[in-house]
């Protein structure tokens, strides 16, 4: 998709459709829709429609007007942004996405989106529109033989006259990188497991690294076993598909020696549950159990292009979790790379096993701050539903960096506890720890397990099990992979630039 910036009066914009935001300034009883920008020509074109009460400005409401009076645009699309008092860049991102998906459904291939007034400024508004546009343009119907090309070909972001073109172009270019990287992650997550084995996953990561100038190292089973990654190998041993350890390095010239940020992702390309096999119903979705690893690959893609002056290492532990005569069994004891012994209670608690070795390995490579992402527990989905992902932290400064990242990314995470009470729940009588702590507090006991492998290193854990896959279409995003965490990971990395 070609996306470009224009600084122009809206009346002069020539386009198939000009999209703009209406906000509700009224109360519960009586909506009062008004444009989210000042433009007399557009206000006149929409005046009769607003006066009629046919539009209210409620969130994601769409109203299409043909041949609007006084405008060179062929159509005018009014998108509701919801209550004016609560309208932020988060709602703007979704509103821009709503415009693109609505127009795609009408086979309209190009449009212009007017930049509304936003409390955080024009640059933030441009970023949000561009990110929302790219996210909306993705569709998951990759393998349909009757697939129609509904992709948006061109979007023009129209900023008000007098805007700083250089700064807005920079904002647009940065947002394009993040939007494309989020979609790159979604493409990976969308792939079926027969078309994205661990070997194929690693090859996709390697090609991405080549394209953006990252160093990439891919290691197979011999190296994994030689490094004594017993937790990782215990999951991989049951599959005929070889595992892959993917290491991506971003080491810009002029970056300080510390901090070194480690991004570690769970890359289970298919999860049957192993010997503790899952129910058949819904198991097809377990192709997305590598969404955490895909998020790290997407984030590294964006970091390489945005070029912050900070060292970043991305690690993805990629394997299948399969039942076979070679698979590990409940009751087995495995020795992790760190030397800790693990009693296997449930082979379906495999994500924490691969991450255990990934986190420890990141520390051996010199990472001073760690963040991991994984579709780790159903318990997190029970706790938070599909609205929020879970976040855990062992360090307040690292967590504050993450909350600042969320302010910019707009992604929804909710902090959950990971204190010593949960560690006690995973103590084993035969080994150091067990890989599950029972039914209660499952998201926190999983986090407590991971915490054992980071020790005092500042660490953030993201449990994205409930948000990595959209079960239904939204007006701004298609059903399927969401690309959750990519934007937040990028902003978390950027938050450390010049901080030490």
Q: What is the pLDDT of residues 471-487, one digit of tens each?
A: 999 999 999 999 999 99
Q: What is the pLDDT of residues 77-92, one digit of tens each?
A: 999 999 999 999 999 9
**pTM as predicted:** 0.97
**Who has greater pLDDT, 28 or 134?**
134
Q: If we measure between CA atoms, which residue out of 299, 307, 345, 310 comes closest to residue 462?
A: 299
Are 349 and 283 in contact, with CB atoms under 8 Å apart? Answer: no
Spatial CB neighbours of 2, under 8 Å, sequence gap ≥ 6: 153, 154, 155
Q: Band the pLDDT of 149: cuts 50, 70, 90.
A: confident
**Across residues 155-170, what is the average pLDDT?**
97
Structure tokens at 184: 């790159």
**Across residues 231-250, what is the average pLDDT?**
98
Taking the domains of the chain in order of start, what are their residue ranges? 2-159, 179-495
For residue 157, report the phi and psi dihedrals to the nearest 5 degrees.
Answer: -95, 115
Would strands 2-7 and 18-24 be described as parallel, antiparallel, or unpaired?
unpaired
Neighbours of 361 (CB within 10 A): 24
Rounded to a whole number of angstroms, the distance between the first and last alpha carbons of the chain is 38
User: What percent of the chain has pLDDT above 90?
Assistant: 96
- The domain 179-495 is classified under which CATH number: 3.90.1150.10, 3.30.1330.40, 3.40.630.10, 3.30.70.100? 3.40.630.10
Write the class of the CATH domain 2-159.
Answer: alpha beta
Print burial letters for 203-213: b (CB count within 10 Å at least 16), e (below 16). ebbbebbeebe
Positions marked catalytic: 278, 352
Q: Nearest 10 degrees: CA dihedral of 133, 139, 145, 151?
A: 0
């Amino acid at each position: 998709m070609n996306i470009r910036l224009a600084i122009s009066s809206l009346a002069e914009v020539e386009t198939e459709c000009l999209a703009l935001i209406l906000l509700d300034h009224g109360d519960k009883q009586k909506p009062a829709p008004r444009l989210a920008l000042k433009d007399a020509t557009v206000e006149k074109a929409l005046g009769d429609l607003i006066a009629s009460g046919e539009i209210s400005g409620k969130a994601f409401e769409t109203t299409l007007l043909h041949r609007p009076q006084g405008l060179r645009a062929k159509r005018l699309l009014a998108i509701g942004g919801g209550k004016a008092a609560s309208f932020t860049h988060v709602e703007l991102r979704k509103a821009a996405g709503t415009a693109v998906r609505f127009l795609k459904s009408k086979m309209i291939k190009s449009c212009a989106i007017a930049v509304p007034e936003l409390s955080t400024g024009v640059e933030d508004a441009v970023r949000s529109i561009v990110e929302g546009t790219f996210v909306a343009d993705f569709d998951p119907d990759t393998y349909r033989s009757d697939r129609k090309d509904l992709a948006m070909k061109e979007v023009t972001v129209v900023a008000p006259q007098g805007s700083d073109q250089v700064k807005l172009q920079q904002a647009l270019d940065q947002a394009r990188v993040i939007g494309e990287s989020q979609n790159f992650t979604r493409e990976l997550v969308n792939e079926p497991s027969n078309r994205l084995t661990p070997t194929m996953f690693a090859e996709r990561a390697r090609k991405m690294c080549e394209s953006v100038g990252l160093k990439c190292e891919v290691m197979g089973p011999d190296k994994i076993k030689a490094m004594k990654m017993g937790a990782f190998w215990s999951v991989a041993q049951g599959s005929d598909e070889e595992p892959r350890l993917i290491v991506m390095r971003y080491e810009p010239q002029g970056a300080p020696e510390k901090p070194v940020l480690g991004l570690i992702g769970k890359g289970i390309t298919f999860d049957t549950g192993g010997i503790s096999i899952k129910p058949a119903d819904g198991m097809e979705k377990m192709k997305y159990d590598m969404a955490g690893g895909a998020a790290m690959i997407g984030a590294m893609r964006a970091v390489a292009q945005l070029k912050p002056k900070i060292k970043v290492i991305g690690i993805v532990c990629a394997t299948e979790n399969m039942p076979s005569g070679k698979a590990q069994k409940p009751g087995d004891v495995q020795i992790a790379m760190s030397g800790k012994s693990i009693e296997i209670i449930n082979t379906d608690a495999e994500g924490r096993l691969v991450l255990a070795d990934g986190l420890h390995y990141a520390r051996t490579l010199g990472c001073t701050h760690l963040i991991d992402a994984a579709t780790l527990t159903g318990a997190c989905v029970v706790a938070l539903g599909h609205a929020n992902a879970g976040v855990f932290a062992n360090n307040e400064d690292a967590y504050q960096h993450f909350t600042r990242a969320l302010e910019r990314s707009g992604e929804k995470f909710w902090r959950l506890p990971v204190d010593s009470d949960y560690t006690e729940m995973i103590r084993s009588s035969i080994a150091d720890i067990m890989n599950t702590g029972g039914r209660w507090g499952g998201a926190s006991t999983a986090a407590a397990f991971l915490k054992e492998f980071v020790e005092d290193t500042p660490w953030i854990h993201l449990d994205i099990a409930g948000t990595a896959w959209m079960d239904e279409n939204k007006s701004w995003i298609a059903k399927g992979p969401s690309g959750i965490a990519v934007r937040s990971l990028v902003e978390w990395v950027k938050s450390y630039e010049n901080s030490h």
